[in-house]
Amino acid sequence: MEENSNQCAAESAAIPLNMEGESNDGEERDPESISLSQPLLRRNRTLSSSPLAIVGAKVSYIESLDYEINENDLFKHDWRSRSKVQVLQYIFLKWILAFLVGLLTGIIATLINLAVENIAGYKLLAAVSFIQKERYLMGFIHLAGANLLLTTFASILCVCFAPTAAGPGIPEIKAYLNGVDTPNMFGATTMIVKIIGSIGAVSAGLDLGKEGPLVHIGSCIASLLGQGGPDNHRIKWRWLRYFNNDRDRRDLITCGAASGVCAAFRAPVGGVLFAFEEVATWWRSALLWRTFFSTAIVVVVLRTFIEICNSGGCGLFGKGGLIMFDVSTVTVTYHMMDIIPVVVIGIIGGVLGSLYNFFLHKILRLYNLINQKGKVHKLLLSLSVSLFTSACLYGLPFLVECTPCDSSLAESVCPTNEGSGNFKQFNCPDGHYNDLATLLLATNDDAVRNIFSTTTSTEYHPISLLIFFALYCILGLFTFGIAVPTGLFLPIILMGSAYGRMLGIAMKSYTSIDQGLFAVLGAASLMAGSMRMTVSLCVIFLELTNNLLLLPITMIVLLIAKTVGDSFNPSIYEIILHLKGLPFLDAHPEPWMRNLTVGELADAKLPVVTLRGIEKVERIVEVLRNTTHNGFPVIDDGVVPPVGLAVGATEVHGLILRAHLVHVLKKKWFQREKRRTEEWEVREKFTWVELAEREGKIEEVAVTSEEMEMYVDLHPLTNTTPYTVMESMSVAKAMVLFRQLGLRHLLIVPKYVAAGVPPVVGILTRQDLIAYNILNAFPHLTKATSREKGN
């Protein structure tokens, strides 16, 4: 595990590196040709691209996914011969996998919850018992020690075994569903570390949630199920072969992400919508239905466990039903005048959210510098954050005064020393409670529950809320980047609810809205201000709080907060994606992309490498060894022309994938003479199940010099229906096509028809369509862009 890669290179993904990646299709390493074409094209750099990104704090190679259906002869034959039974097997398996994703995500989420509630609960109870005996130092040592231990445990796991398990994982899932594969992201080790690490980190009282990690865990489960187990021990079940393609994996991982959100918030509809609005790039109504099925299963599992735990067999876990932060007991009454506080919450939430994004960006850059220095530095960073957190959580409640219990509440409610109760006694005399301890000396879930508590308008002092808010702003910024599984949802909810409740106190005399609801609205506004979701957040909050009458207000708050936030900076996930250097294709092309044609883009790249329909082995080996491209256009020269055409036409036969060429070389499917093969010949040698495997490497292939002189008929293995654009197509429209159809390669065909015109003038990949890379090769566009902005 090298930690010393250049972080800056990965951050700015287009700075030329000394290694060329898979995505540079259509380029050859000939620096001469670059300098030759320069003066003609008013540019000083070629369109180059880097296949590197930061994956789990480590710079790694990334690969593009291919959602296009590879219609070659073998596929077509298989597809024609696929019996009805096989089609049914496939459909059945799709639903079984969706079922299993839901089932396992639900079970794992419950287990995590159980573990966290018990570990954190006993830890807090022990600390409280010292406090009751007024042995304050021992209490601190106990609490801080336990927290340090748990953090060390989580951090060592992440640092040593699965660096990709650190962080929320949602940006990488987003990238995966956009078509960018990051290595080791969905493996078994990552999943196990994420589960255990998440338990440790959340129990350690750090300011992070298990929500983001649960989304990642759900996706890992989906990915592992789809490929039949961990990389080394895959089940070779025949049915699973249908799933060995990027499309079905993508759909399954979408299900997994939705299940994860559902398990985190017990919000089935919210989970589906989160996957749709935030995570997924491609969506079909069939997928809507399948993700919905998965989340329904998750809810049934959660519901079953709740029923089991309600009988008391789960330790400190088990109180509470399906709704996490129920505020339905309070009746929402509001009038036209209440629009003012609602608008105020929305605006402040938007501003705070974008500020949070801004500062988090800065701190993540700083942390990247620290993380580069090695494992020990990473570990020390985590431990110091943990120590700071413990000190604040334990020490700050001593600063505030005790509050006498409200006599209108029942004796048993106040004060309490239980793990999850409201009105914590802490260091106060009987009949009094410490309001800051109520918020700080609890698990994060309980803290949210306490701050959302309704019809308790005098529970919290403004000062305590201010301290709480300030503390969680600091912790929220400094905790996110450490090397443990971290989620963003809960920290933001905590921050937002604190400021919402403060606002509620400030506006007490103007409005009849309950302060608990103010806290809910504050949390929603900060979420929208930072994450910029609308419908999914709205439904998640509805399902979290079970107060339908709050819905109209929540909608307005979310809309305002998102609008305000958007006017400052992009959403937090987009910031992280960019920081990691992942080549994410945006939904909208940049305006200046209309002024550039794909032909110009192709000219800026090195000439495209094509193969002939019947190609010499030597040439294939040479091409595979000397380029890193993943697809090669297959051209037939001097074909027998159709009626009415001149002799000597060239024909675009299609596109062949690198993996298939490697298969051909490995299986030595060579022939002495230059002839086209019959369909049965290729079917004898290859099955489409083999061709779906994409792991072969050219370095593993040995070809004798005699074989080098032989020929290969590439026709049956060529995808005869690649998508194409004419060279006069604008980059903007080509990008829309590329993204909408989920392509990996896009052929550029000439707009001229004449003898001697090359039938394929270029090939575009994801990296070529990333705005940053294009601007690097065409610097004059940057000027145009900035001029436009200056208008």
> In this chain, which of 33, 427, 546, 671 binds a second copy, going by CB under 8 A?
546
Q: Nearest distance from residue 387's CB to a second copy, in Å?
A: 41
Binding test (CB under 8 A) with a second copy, winner from 228, 723, 772, 785: 723
Q: Give the nearest distance from C-beta 555 to a second copy in angstroms.
A: 4
Output DSSP code: residue 609.
P
Check residue 692 for interaction with a second copy (CB under 8 A). no
- CA 200/CA 382 separation, integer angstroms: 12
Q: Does 543 bind a second copy (CB under 8 A)?
A: yes
Our CB check for a second copy shows the closer of 365 and 578 to be 578
Does 96 engage in binding with a second copy (CB under 8 A)? no
The phi-psi region of residue 752 (left if phi > 0; otherwise alpha if psi is between -120 and 50; otherwise beta) is: beta
From the list 33, 417, 427, 730, which residue makes contact with a second copy (rule: CB under 8 A)? 730
Q: How many residues bind a second copy (CB under 8 A)?
A: 93
Kindly tell me which residue out of 299, 405, 519, 763 binds a second copy, with binding defined by CB under 8 A: 299
- Stretches 234-242, 322-330, 348-356, 444-452: which one binds a second copy (CB under 8 A)? 322-330
Q: For the window 615-654, what string marks contact with a second copy as x by the rule CB under 8 A?
A: ------------------------x-xx-xxx-xxxxxxx
Give the footprint of a second copy on residues 591-620 (CB under 8 A). Answer: 591, 594-595, 597
Does the protein bind a second copy through residue 679 (CB under 8 A)? no
Residue nearer to a second copy on the CB measure, 183 or 570: 570
For position 587 contacting a second copy by CB under 8 A, the verdict is yes
Packing angle between helix 339-372 and helix 551-566, nearest 10 degrees?
Answer: 50
Q: Is 754 in the site for a second copy (CB under 8 A)?
A: yes
> Does position 19 bind a second copy by CB under 8 A?
no
Instruction: Closer to a second copy by CB, 206 or 746: give it.
Output: 746
DSSP label of 613 = S
Residue 745 vs residues 181, 277, 619, 710: alpha-carbon distances, Å = 15, 26, 22, 29
Told to check if 238 binds a second copy by CB under 8 A, we report no
CB 247 within 8 A of CB 210: no
Q: Which of residues 132-171 bind a second copy (CB under 8 A)?
A: none
Please pick, from the candidates 548, 689, 700, 782, the single residue that binds a second copy as defined by CB under 8 A: 548
Which residue in the set 45, 77, 241, 303 belongs to the binding site for a second copy (CB under 8 A)? 303
Asked if residue 16 binds a second copy (CB under 8 A), the reply is no
Structure tokens at 128: 């409280």
* Contact in structure between 492 and 334 (CB atoms under 8 Å): no
Please name the residues in contact with 139: beta carbons below 8 A apart, sequence gap of 6 or more.
127, 128, 130, 131, 394
Residue nearer to a second copy on the CB measure, 204 or 540: 540
| Alpha-carbon distance values, 765 to 48, 63, 152, 620, 768 (Å) | 11, 11, 42, 21, 5
Q: Which is nearer to a second copy, 272 or 617 (CB)?
A: 272
- The footprint of a second copy on residues 454-483 (CB under 8 A) is none
The C-alpha atoms of residue 141 and residue 391 are separated, in whole angstroms, by 10
Site for a second copy in 256-295 (CB under 8 A): 268-269, 272-273, 277, 283-286, 288-289, 292-293, 295
Contact flag: residue 663 with a second copy (CB under 8 A):
no
Min separation Cβ 248 and a second copy, Å: 15
Coil/strand/helix, residue 60: strand
Token reading at 370? 């620290």
For 4-22, letters b (16+ CB in 10 Å) and e give: eeebebbbebbbebeebbb
Nearer to a second copy, 339 or 409 (CB): 339
| Token code pair at residue 649 | 């036409």
Of 784, 646, 624, 641, nearest to 714 by C-alpha is: 624
Considering only 141, 559, 621, 703, the residue that binds a second copy (CB under 8 A) is 559
Question: Is the separation of the CB atoms in 214 and 105 below 8 Å?
Answer: yes
Shortest distance, CB of residue 357 to a second copy, whole angstroms? 18
Which residues are within 8 A (CB) of 137 and not within 5 positions of it... i.e. 6 or more apart? none
Select 286 or 506, whichever has its Cβ closest to a second copy: 286
- What sections of 311-454 are H helices per DSSP? 339-372, 375-395, 435-440, 444-451
Query: Concatenated DSSP letters for 685-734?
Result: H--HHHHH-----GGG----HHHHTSEEE-GGGSBS---EEETTSBHHHH
Identity of the residue, 294 or 443, whose beta carbon is nearer to a second copy in the bound complex: 294
DSSP label of 252: H
Nearer residue to a second copy within complex by CB, 57 or 177: 177
Residues 335-374, interacting with a second copy (CB under 8 A): 335-336
507 lies in the binding site for a second copy (CB under 8 A): no
Contact 586, 375 (CB under 8 A): no
Residue 740 engages a second copy in binding (rule: CB under 8 A):
yes
